[in-house]
A = this chain, B = another copy of it.
Amino acid sequence: VIGPPRAAVVVVGSEILLDARQDTNGPFIEQALGGEGYACILRLIVGDHIGEIAAAIRTALSRAEIVIVSGGLGPTFDDLTREACADALGVRLERRADIEGVLRERLRRRGLTPPETVYRMADVLQGAEVLTNTVGSAPGQFVAGPPALALLPGVPAELKAMLPAEVLPRLRVRFACAPPLRTVLKIAGLYESEVEARVAPLMGAWTGLESTILAAPGEVTLILRAAANDAAALERARGDVRQALGEAIYAEADEGIEIAVGRLLLARGLTLATAESCTAGMLGAMITSVPGSSAYYLGGAVAYSNRIKEGWLDVPPDLIAARGAVSEEAAASMARGVRRFSGSNLALAVTGVAGPGGGTLEKPVGRVHVAFAAPWGEAARTLNLPGDREMIRMRSCRAALDLLRREISRARGGAPA
């Protein structure tokens, strides 16, 4: 085989195809295999149908040296992966007395007398190793191959425990493979096309590197990949990108801006409060999604109504009458007000038109003002954001955190203790 070992993933679950349930097992397995240096080429998702599962496993085995199957190992009638796999491999299932004994004992202790069919969980493919499940009941199975084939339960907590503990070590002894090097740079304050325009001219000089640019509302992710023995090239490329993007890079790790901002606040010993109109709490929820954020975040106001803007945040009614609640002046006043009241060092405010209704010629949907207040000064930005209501709100939150990050960095040592 030229290049790294190829891997394919088979995910079993009708609810994914019929009810639009998100498949989280596929991405988890692929990230783990990619981290080992294996090349994930294919994911197949099939329903709980024995013929389709068998066909998917056959396809996977024909394309890859490593096949991981998730789901369909439980005790109910629609758990059919064992039988489908026996069919695909042309081997028999053998009831394992030791596994059956453990299951019987466990069920007896819980006072349960389930139908005999639950002991299908003790049926193991001829020649397969049994993989221990420390989280749930259904054991996994491993066929050395080639191709190597692992069957894992579909319950995410069980899969996440068993893949690294039971499967990856068995693959490592079979497939010598140096994991590729990977760098993630996270960028705020630029659109994907702006990042692309600045990075594309650099790429000609990057031999042997792969790069990917991915966009989410208010953040861009740049991923650089190099072979295991090419750390120097990766480091050079990283330096090129740092120079091209400058302070737009908020992290050199795959993390949200709320994490980078939290670290910055902790390091400087600064506290933060928020005043939100159109985002209505989304900014506070994002900041506090980080465990330990109570060390720097004090809270604030969801100032949807003018009464809250005026009563709690001291936004002058005259200002709202003259400039409107959606204005840079209102945002600045909200930030000032929440800072004064909460006693925080720093404050952020957001006001805008998230849509789909409420837009005017003068203030269209997507017009958002973010404002920052600190003991050493104030700053504000007026944005015209694309996307639907939720995208505009998400972009607004990230733009506010980006403003905070840039203003703190700009202030350097100037921040008071």
Interface residues of A (CB under 8 A from B): 14-23, 26-28, 30-31, 34, 40-47, 49, 52, 55-56, 59, 63, 212, 214, 221, 223, 274, 276-285, 287-289, 291-292, 294, 297-305, 307-308, 311-312, 341-343, 355-358, 389-390, 393
Contact = CB atoms under 8 A, between A and B. Distances in A.
Nearest to A274: B302
A28 B20 CA distance: 7
Contacts of A311: 341
Contacts of A27: 16, 20, 22
Contact of A19 (B52, B214, B283): B214
Given A14-B212, A279-B285, A294-B358, 17 more contacts: A17-B41, A18-B34, A19-B212, A20-B27, A20-B28, A22-B27, A41-B49, A42-B44, A52-B63, A274-B281, A276-B281, A276-B284, A289-B389, A298-B308, A299-B304, A307-B343, A308-B341
Nearest to A277: B299
B312 A304 contact: no
A298 B305 contact: yes
Given A22-B22, A341-B311, A302 B299 contact: yes
B30 A41 contact: no
B18 A30 contact: yes
B342 A308 contact: yes
A30 B21 CA distance: 11
Contacts of A41: 17, 46-47, 49, 52
Copies in the complex: 2
A284 B298 contact: no
A31 B40 CA distance: 26
Contact of A289 (B19, B308, B390): B390
Instruction: Say what secondary structure dominates the interface of chain A.
Output: mixed
The 6 closest A-B pairs by CB, nearest first: A281-B281, A281-B284, A299-B304, A282-B285, A280-B288, A20-B27
> Which of A63, A299, A302, A390 has most B Cβ within 10 Å?
A302
Contact of A304 (B18, B23, B298, B358): B298
A356 B291 contact: yes
A288 B303 CA distance: 12
Nearest to A343: B307
A45 to B, nearest CB: 4
13 contacts: A16-B43, A18-B30, A18-B40, A18-B212, A19-B221, A20-B31, A22-B22, A274-B281, A280-B288, A280-B299, A281-B285, A281-B302, A300-B301
Nearest to A7: B17
Contact of A285 (B21, B44, B46, B280): B280
Contacts of A287: 280
Contact of A305 (B276, B299, B312): B299
A142 B181 CA distance: 41
A266 to B, nearest CB: 14
Contacts of A14: 212
A292 B22 contact: no
Contacts of A17: 30, 40-43
A291 B356 CA distance: 7
A140 to B, nearest CB: 22
Given A18-B34, A214-B15, A294 B289 contact: no
A389 B40 CA distance: 31
Given A280-B287, A288-B281, A304-B294, A42 B56 contact: yes
A63 B390 CA distance: 38
A396 to B, nearest CB: 11
A20 B307 CA distance: 44
A284 B280 contact: yes
Contacts of A358: 294
